[in-house]
Chain A
């Protein structure tokens, strides 16, 4: 066999995709519609009971390939070339009725957002058994019994009765497992998992991942596992296929891909989190000191922040880590004055900050800047890059004309973008470039502290890495401090000098990075640290075994 992988040990061939080409018609505003190629000449083989991981950044075509195994194109996407051979026949030649017979019977699909993928007006059980009934593979009674078994196997609470609930009545992590049960219920040969844990919190992700892995092993089903996270796919896949811009980059055994990548791009993906960062010791006086802050939304009794105290030192980074609902973004809103705290004080550069934004002095505003998660909505789409970066210069320093333009050019240079970008609109920039422009806008104010709210979480890993490196570089040049809010512990390890771990509105652990990440841990930090996927085969089992605390999703 001429493939990169030897299939000597493999069983019966289940899926054989040959030279797949997929195209779509796009309608760019103000231009003529045109054809773009999404997947270009990709071939893959999958044997019965095996799991193939498809990995790549956004636009790599991985979901599109996954769905092609069911002969399905999302939106205006069309399979224009190649063969998809499933169980020995080319499904693209069977017509619509042929496809209907295999969908939900031979191949099933698990979507990224189970919350949207379930019909809100039917009970879960009716939806779980629907495909099996439709294809006549089981009577309702059998199918329901099987579903309950699957619920139990996937460790869902109350497996006997959870099927009577409606989708909105169960949590996101549980819904994702019900969707897996739905896929398994008609006993298919193949399941396509499309980023099934991406939308979940990290401590929930590990449970769902373990459940999926066990279910795959026990039922002997084959799977295409699509994700952008190599560490995740390394836990479940036998083989991994790396894709980029719709083309195959590398295909090999899981161990080979993560330990001995042969292609440069794969290597970059594998080593993405390895940023060298020397922890700086705390200085004498902090630049920002948050003392005993308590806050709630709209006079409500539920406190989103409870007695929070942290310090940040000039030129250093404090990372605030936590899952959704931990209060980490609320802390940023309290510091910026968008949500005046009910109690506690915030000191900045030796002065006490007014609680309300409207009462703050212009210098306080200038020296405390913010960068957002979604760079594309953080910039006015009707302003050019030059206006966006130039406005703080006009506003704070009264710079005009040539002086301002020169400074804008200088700032563009700092963020490693050329002068040619001055007249571009945000819509004409890539995701990484947008975030860079936002950084330049913050820098233009010559701030002492920048609050970075999940600034890399919407970006692909390699792009995110570039942004982190840039931030570190700028920190050493400008001596600016960062308050870095994130849910991603890997990022924290790369850039933080000190860390605050937040859980349900309180800081549960706080100190210099080396201390925080060193045992003995409190239960929550332990859970959080154990839940971060590591690029290590067998990590998942070890992590589940060693946990002291149940995840929040249960």
Chain B
């Protein structure tokens, strides 16, 4: 029951931009004007018909590198989000429904992990681990799953005490039915919106790590890494570093707009149809 006319302008902007970014990420080799890592001109050439966004600190075409950067950024952030989400949601739901010692143990451990700022703990762990994409995904995914855990547990606990769940328990329904048929459909919209927020967090986290030189390693680069590569140019008035930074901001804003819309559309348990 999705009425296109009812989608607000902000959500349209978000949807279109997000689609554009994902499109660049998926089809990078076909749409990038130059090959990956190819040196095509002088260092930090200004924008021109030849190089729409100019060239970077080694004379590579910035647009081509941005498009390949989109691929790295979106791919790693999506993998980390998928990991944090499945881990956090499964453990959170289980903790809420099973309760008892499992719930206590998990919740205390998550409290502990969350009492250290994510970036700091990420840096501590990365000081001993090799900087590979797999490590990045694992570290980001596991650290961020704590937030998903808290949310899914809280949502599930709220629903679990409602009379309709009690009615299902009195009927004799099994745990699977209760989790998947009674609780999950009602927890979906906050979780979907959270999915967007977690993805943004992953993009920002990855960019920060790469900017600090601890994320994606050269010659590959995500957008955060590209900011690092070109940051020396800023003091000479060369804005090359601002372009990938702005792209990160644009991606984050557009996903935020979509997530906001999803949350507002079905923010309570009242509307039966709107959840579709």
Residues of A within 8 A of B (CB): 29-30, 336, 338, 357, 360, 362, 365-366, 369-370, 372, 374, 377-382, 384, 391-392, 395, 425-428, 441, 445
Tell me which residues from 244 to 276 in chain B have a Cβ below 8 Å from any Cβ of chain A.
265-266, 269-275
Cross-interface CB contact of B164 among A357, A365, A378, A445, cutoff 8 Å: A378
B9 CB-CB contact with A under 8 Å: no
Q: A378-B164, A380-B164 are in contact. Are A30 and B274 (CB under 8 A)?
A: yes
Task: Provide the bound-state CA to CA distance between A244 and B274, in Å.
Answer: 31
By the criterion CB–CB under 8 Å, are B162 and A365 in contact?
no
Residues from chain B with Cβ under 8 Å of A378 in the complex: 163-164, 167
B172 CB-CB contact with A under 8 Å: yes
Residues from chain B with Cβ under 8 Å of A370 in the complex: 167, 170
**Closest Cβ–Cβ distance, residue A180 to chain B (whole Å):** 35
Task: Provide the bound-state CA to CA distance between A370 and B165, in Å.
Answer: 13
Task: Provide the bound-state CA to CA distance between A369 and B164, in Å.
Answer: 13
**Closest Cβ–Cβ distance, residue A364 to chain B (whole Å):** 9
A-B residue pairs, 6 tightest by C-beta: A425-B272, A382-B185, A378-B163, A365-B172, A29-B271, A380-B164
By the criterion CB–CB under 8 Å, are A357 and B169 in contact?
yes
Residues from chain B with Cβ under 8 Å of A441 in the complex: 167
Cross-interface CB contact of A427 among B166, B182, B186, B270, cutoff 8 Å: B270
By the criterion CB–CB under 8 Å, are B274 and A377 in contact?
no
By the criterion CB–CB under 8 Å, are B170 and A392 in contact?
no
Q: A365-B172, A380-B182, A381-B186 are in contact. Are A372 and B274 (CB under 8 A)?
A: no
B3 CB-CB contact with A under 8 Å: yes
How many chain B residues touch A (Cβ–Cβ < 8 Å)?
26
The 6 sampled A-B contact pairs (Cβ below 8 Å) are: A29-B265, A29-B270, A336-B170, A372-B167, A374-B163, A380-B164
**Most-contacted residue by chain A among B162, B163, B169, B269 (CB, 10 A):** B163
By the criterion CB–CB under 8 Å, are B272 and A362 in contact?
no
Cross-interface CB contact of A357 among B1, B170, B186, B275, cutoff 8 Å: B170
Residues from chain B with Cβ under 8 Å of A365 in the complex: 170-172
Residues from chain A with Cβ under 8 Å of B42 in the complex: none
- Which residue on chain A has the smallest CB distance to residue B161? A377
**Closest Cβ–Cβ distance, residue A434 to chain B (whole Å):** 11
B173 CB-CB contact with A under 8 Å: yes
By the criterion CB–CB under 8 Å, are A380 and B274 in contact?
no
B6 CB-CB contact with A under 8 Å: yes
By the criterion CB–CB under 8 Å, are B6 and A30 in contact?
yes
Tell me which residues from 1 to 26 in chain B have a Cβ below 8 Å from any Cβ of chain A.
1, 3, 6
**Closest Cβ–Cβ distance, residue B194 to chain A (whole Å):** 18
- Which residue on chain B has the smallest CB distance to residue A376? B270
By the criterion CB–CB under 8 Å, are B270 and A372 in contact?
no
Task: Provide the bound-state CA to CA distance between A372 and B269, in Å.
Answer: 18
**Closest Cβ–Cβ distance, residue B190 to chain A (whole Å):** 13
Tell me which residues from 141 to 178 in chain B have a Cβ below 8 Å from any Cβ of chain A.
162-164, 166-167, 169-173
Residues from chain A with Cβ under 8 Å of B266 in the complex: 29
Residues from chain B with Cβ under 8 Å of A445 in the complex: 171
Residues from chain A with Cβ under 8 Å of B162 in the complex: 377
Tell me which residues from 201 to 242 in chain B have a Cβ below 8 Å from any Cβ of chain A.
none
- Which residue on chain A has the smallest CB distance to residue B2? A30
By the criterion CB–CB under 8 Å, are B167 and A427 in contact?
no
Q: A29-B270, A380-B164 are in contact. Are A395 and B173 (CB under 8 A)?
A: yes
Residues from chain A with Cβ under 8 Å of B275 in the complex: 382
Residues from chain B with Cβ under 8 Å of A379 in the complex: 164
By the criterion CB–CB under 8 Å, are B163 and A426 in contact?
no
By the criterion CB–CB under 8 Å, are A382 and B186 in contact?
yes
Residues from chain A with Cβ under 8 Å of B274 in the complex: 29-30
Q: A357-B170, A365-B170 are in contact. Are A425 and B164 (CB under 8 A)?
A: no
Given contacts A378-B167, A381-B270, 8 further A-B contacts (CB under 8 A): A30-B3, A338-B166, A365-B172, A380-B181, A395-B172, A425-B273, A426-B272, A428-B272
Task: Provide the bound-state CA to CA distance between A365 and B172, in Å.
Answer: 7
Q: A29-B274, A374-B163 are in contact. Are A380 and B186 (CB under 8 A)?
A: yes
- Which residue on chain B has the smallest CB distance to residue A374? B163
Task: Provide the bound-state CA to CA distance between A384 and B185, in Å.
Answer: 13
Tell me which residues from 90 to 122 in chain B have a Cβ below 8 Å from any Cβ of chain A.
none
Residues from chain A with Cβ under 8 Å of B172 in the complex: 360, 362, 365-366, 395
- Which residue on chain B has the smallest CB distance to residue A364? B172
Task: Provide the bound-state CA to CA distance between A456 and B163, in Å.
Answer: 16
**Most-contacted residue by chain B among A357, A379, A382, A445 (CB, 10 A):** A382
Residues from chain B with Cβ under 8 Å of A427 in the complex: 270-272
By the criterion CB–CB under 8 Å, are A377 and B170 in contact?
no
Residues from chain B with Cβ under 8 Å of A380 in the complex: 164, 181-182, 185-186
Task: Provide the bound-state CA to CA distance between A384 and B169, in Å.
Answer: 19
